[in-house]
Amino acid sequence: MARKRTAQKLKDPSGFDHIEILGAREHNLKNINLTFPRNQLVVITGISGSGKSSLAFDTIYAEGQRRYMESFSAYARSFIGNLERPDVDKINGLSPVISIEQKTTSRNPRSTVGTVTEIYDFMRLLYARTAEAFSYETGEKMVRQSEDQIIDTILEKFKGQNITILSPVVKGRKGHYRELFVQIRKGGFTKARIDGKIEELKPKMQVDRFKIHDIEIVIDRLAVDSKDRFRIAQSINVALKDGKGVLMVMEEKGIVYHYSKFLMDPKSGLSYDEPAPNTFSFNSPYGACPTCNGLGQIEEITEDSVVPDKSLSISRGGILPLGAYRDIWIFKKVEAILKRYKMSLTTPIRKIPDEVMKVLFYGDDVPVAVPSVKYPGTDWNTKFEGIINFLQKQRDEGTEATRRWVGDFTLVKTCPECKGMRLKKESLHFRIDKKNIAELAEMNIDALNHWVSDLESRLSEKQNVIATEILKELRKRIGFLLDVGLNYLHLNRPLKTLSGGEAQRIRLATQIGTQLVGVLYILDEPSIGLHARDNVKLIKALKDLRDLGNTVIVVEHDKEMMMESDYIIDIGPGAGRHGGKIVALGTPKEFLKTDSATAKFLSGKDRILFSAERRKGNGEKLILKESTGNNLKR
Ligand SMILES: [Zn+2]
């Protein structure tokens, strides 16, 4: 759980209040020495190729990583290997370094904005502890009652009526149940309700073993009168024991009511397992939709994706995976099948009847006679497994390369079972304030924030007792995302579809969330692609990270970022071998007094600073074809 935020800056345990770099020569760096303050927001700037990344990433970050690895045992290092020492004489005052780069951190489709920020984890906890369950069969609210509550309810509801108390022992299962009937008789009961009919239990009794049965023991038949509370309570106790926490009451007209110590639909008797956080995880078999395994989409090889153009004949490549006619085995088989229906490889596919195409797609049991080349005049008799069946097998069992090939004939579709919501049916029927957890995961962060902000007023007192602490954690993490200007994302958004800048800011938000102290963070141009308003938020987030007691180094061109920083280091003056020197450094105030180009730009004397960076095009075009990434529709 989150630690308490430190009220004042912690004393730095390293004893250094500066980071000192001596003799840095990585890439184009010209043996530079410099010192800058720790626990401050430091901007390293300069034109592209000046050496600012060589200093930030290839020297400071690389050395931090190397030292971290050195702290491992020799045994551990023999596995991971050593990192090369960057070309620098010495760095003093270095803390553990974390780099927050633009690179998307995960290609895994199971990593989402919700999982990586832990917001979804806290929502799962909230749903497991406070959500109300509803039946996916009848929509009724699921109830769980204590034994005493069940007794009171039955006394009240069936007052003055004759009822039968039943204990369900078989629900929708096949079998002859000979031993079960023997056992029931041994338990002292004489009747059972079998498939809805009450029957006397006779010796050697059994039911049709190939049919599905429902069997309940008839525990007691009585007239409900509160004077008989003791007898009723006893019968209910027995019924719940035999029914493993569940019982049924049948009233005079034969209508049946269900009661349970667990979550149960009182109308249909459908019951759910007690919810746990993994009930709501699409990465867990307890929560994931069984059809799509929690991915929300399925891949299908369809007839249309295999035959996209029906005007073509098979010999002209009408069946896409086969390509145009060649003298190979598969075409001989296809030809033999067509011949059976008096058609040929040159028939346009739209003129081939559907049932013939079905044989080509899915095969059949009729042996295919293919003329043998080796022994002219004889036929090979083989079965044809069908092209789609073949592709499916290759997709499931093939090598990486064949699977990629099959991917060309595969359509990605929203899962028909969960409609893309990734969770199993039961999990989607737990609701808080009329919403299931998947609906929240589809809301943007702004809307989610709104929903969470006054949730207490819509919860019961009992729910609130449990929800308060979880809501605190939720709001804090949602706040971090709003702080870095990501209010438009939703929790279900796969991480791999985020832009580099968005992924970087997500990581920034999670780092603020971890509340680490004494760390050196390095960020690569986090302001790229941000609107001015969000840039202000970003700078505030970086300052928050600093105020927790961390050093934050930002490689950046942005004017606002530089002016808001505590210290600026300008590397240059040119690119490549014309750069690699420290042009100027100091607090923004000191820095403005220098005559570096950057200082002139900051003070408004030069309007354009980094114009030299934009290159001219070479006249060629970049063409995108059939793009399907993110939500692009080809
Ligand atoms: Zn699904």
Calculate how far, in angstroms, residue 630's C-alpha sits from the geometric centre of ligand 1.
19
CA of 295 to the centre of ligand 1 (A): 7
Query: What is the mean pLDDT of the segment spanning 417-424?
Result: 95
Ligand 1 centre to CA of 583 (Å) is 58
Judged against a pLDDT cut of 50, whether residue 611 lies above it is answered with: no
Give distance in angstroms: CA of 418 to centre of ligand 1. 4
Please tell me if the domain spanning 18-101+517-613 has the same topology as the one spanning 147-274.
no
Here the tokens at position 591 are 């820095």
| 99 Cα to the center of ligand 1, angstroms | 36
How far is the centre of ligand 1, averaged over its atoms, from the C-alpha of 282 (Å)?
A: 9
Cα 417 to ligand 1 centroid, rounded to whole Å: 5
Grouping H, G, I as helix, E, B as strand and the rest as coil, residue 461 is helix
Closest by Cα among 398, 419, 422 to 410: 398
Does the pLDDT at position 84 exceed 90?
no
420 C-alpha to center of ligand 1: Å? 6
The mean pLDDT value for 232-259 works out to 93
Q: State in Å: Cα 105 to ligand 1 middle.
A: 25
- For residues 59 and 91, give the distance between their C-alpha atoms in angstroms, rounded to a whole number: 9
- The CA 287 to ligand 1 mean position distance, Å, reads 11
Is 381's pLDDT higher than 90? no
What pLDDT, in 10s, does the model give residues 464-505?
999 999 999 999 999 999 988 899 999 999 888 888 888 888
Query: Could you tell me the pLDDT band of residue 620, with boundaries at 50, 70 and 90?
Result: low
Between the alpha carbon of residue 236 and those of residues 55, 106, 187, 290, 457, the distances in Å are 77, 55, 15, 36, 38
The band of 382, judged by pLDDT with boundaries at 50, 70 and 90, is confident
**pLDDT recorded at residue 579:** 94
Gap from CA of 298 to ligand 1 centroid (Å): 8
pLDDT at res. 13: 53
pLDDT of residue 585: 94
Q: 109 C-alpha to center of ligand 1: Å?
A: 14
Q: State pLDDT tens for residues 133-152.
A: 999 999 999 998 899 999 99
Distance from the alpha carbon of residue 510 to the mean position of ligand 1, in angstroms:
29
Can you give the pLDDT at residue 73? 78
CA–CA gap between residue 84 and residue 106 (Å, rounded): 25
> What HEC string does 296-339 produce?
CEEEECCHHHHCCCCCCECCCCCCCCCCCCCCCHHHHHHHHHHH
Ligand 1 centre and the CA of 121: distance in Å?
Answer: 20
Spacing, Cα 432 to ligand 1 middle (Å): 22
DSSP 551: E
Split at pLDDT 50, 70, 90, the class of 76 is confident
Report the separation in Å between the CA atom of 393 and the middle of ligand 1, taken as the mean of its atom positions. Answer: 21
Q: What is the CA radius of gyration of the chain?
A: 35
Q: How far is the CA of 143 from the centre of ligand 1 (A)?
A: 27
Residue 171 C-alpha to ligand 1 middle, in angstroms? Answer: 26
Q: Cα separation of 50 and 36, whole Å?
A: 19
Q: Chain centroid to CA 226: how far? A: 54
Find the 239 Cα to ligand 1 centroid distance in Å: 38
CA 379–ligand 1 middle distance (angstroms): 47
pLDDT of residue 384: 84
CA–centroid distance, 139 to ligand 1, in Å, is 20
Which pLDDT belongs to residue 628?
55
Helix (H) or strand (E) holding 531: none
Query: Residue 40 Cα, ligand 1 centroid: separation in angstroms?
Result: 48
Contact 397, 390 (CB under 8 A): no
| Span from the CA of 28 to the centroid of ligand 1 (angstroms) | 53
Distance 438 CA to ligand 1 centre (A): 12
Q: State which fold the 147-274 domain adopts.
A: Ribulose 1,5 Bisphosphate Carboxylase/Oxygenase (3.30.190)
Confidence tier at 614 by pLDDT (50, 70, 90):
very low
Q: Pick the closest to residue 66 from 49, 82, 42, 46 (CA basis).
A: 82
Q: 321-330, 345-354, 625-634: which has the highest mean pLDDT?
A: 345-354
CA of 142 to the centre of ligand 1 (A): 23
Ligand 1 center from residue 268 Cα (angstroms): 25
pLDDT above 90 (res 365)? no
Q: How far apart are the first and last CA of the chain?
A: 44
Distance 514 CA to ligand 1 centre (A): 32
Tokens of 53: 């990344």
Distance 116 CA to ligand 1 centre (A): 21
Task: Compute the distance from residue 529 Cα to the ligand 1 centre, in Å.
Answer: 35
Residue 512 has pLDDT above 70, yes or no: yes
Nearest residue to 433 (alpha-carbon basis) of 412, 450, 410, 415? 450
Report how far ligand 1's centroid is from the alpha carbon of 479 (Å): 31
How far away, in angstroms, is 363 Cα from ligand 1 center? Answer: 28
User: Looking at the predicted structure, is the pLDDT value of residue 630 above 70?
Assistant: no
Q: In angstroms, what is the span from residue 289 Cα to ligand 1's centroid?
A: 5
For the 105-131+280-296+415-497 domain, the top CATH level (class) is mainly alpha
Q: Across the chain, what does the average pLDDT equal?
A: 88
CA distances from 377 to 320, 321, 345, 443 (A): 32, 30, 22, 69
Over residues 550-593, the pLDDT tens digits come to 999 999 989 999 999 999 999 999 999 999 999 999 999 999 99
Residue 356: which pLDDT band, with cuts at 50, 70 and 90?
Answer: very high
Centre of ligand 1 to C-alpha 423, Å, is 7
Task: Give distance in angstroms: CA of 296 to centre of ligand 1.
Answer: 5
Q: Is 80 exceeded by the pLDDT of residue 290? A: yes
| pLDDT score, position 612 | 43
Q: Could you read off the pLDDT of 47-67 as tens digits, one per residue? A: 999 999 999 999 999 999 888
**Residue 107 pLDDT class (50, 70, 90 cuts):** low
Concatenated DSSP letters for 350-389? GGS-HHHHHHHHH-EEEEEEEE-SSSTT-EEEEEE--HHH
Q: Is the pLDDT of residue 196 over 50?
A: yes
Output the CA 528–ligand 1 centroid distance in Å: 36
- Cα-to-centroid distance, 277 and ligand 1 (Å): 19
Q: How far is the CA of 439 from the centre of ligand 1 (A)?
A: 15
Ligand 1 centre distance from Cα of residue 424 (Å): 7
State the pLDDT at residue 632.
59
Average pLDDT of the residues in 238-261: 92
Q: How far does residue 278's CA lie from ligand 1's centre (Å)?
A: 16
Q: What is the rounded distance in angstroms from the CA atom of residue 123 to the CA atom of residue 133?
A: 15
pLDDT of residue 575: 92
Domain 300-413: CATH superfamily, name plus number: ABC transporter ATPase domain-like (1.10.8.280)
CA of 291 relative to ligand 1 center, distance in Å: 5
Distance from the alpha carbon of residue 492 to the mean position of ligand 1, in angstroms: 14
Q: Determine contact, residues 546/39, Cβ cutoff 8 Å.
A: yes
Domain positions in the chain: 18-101+517-613, 105-131+280-296+415-497, 147-274, 300-413
Q: What is the reported pTM?
A: 0.70
| Distance of CA 421 from the midpoint of ligand 1 (Å) | 7
Give the distance (Å) from ligand 1 centre to CA of residue 131: 22
Ligand 1 midpoint to CA 307 (Å):
27
Domain range 18-101+517-613, its CATH number among 3.30.360.10, 3.40.50.300, 3.40.50.10190, 3.40.50.10540: 3.40.50.300
Distance of CA 416 from the midpoint of ligand 1 (Å): 6
284 CA from centroid of ligand 1 (Å): 13
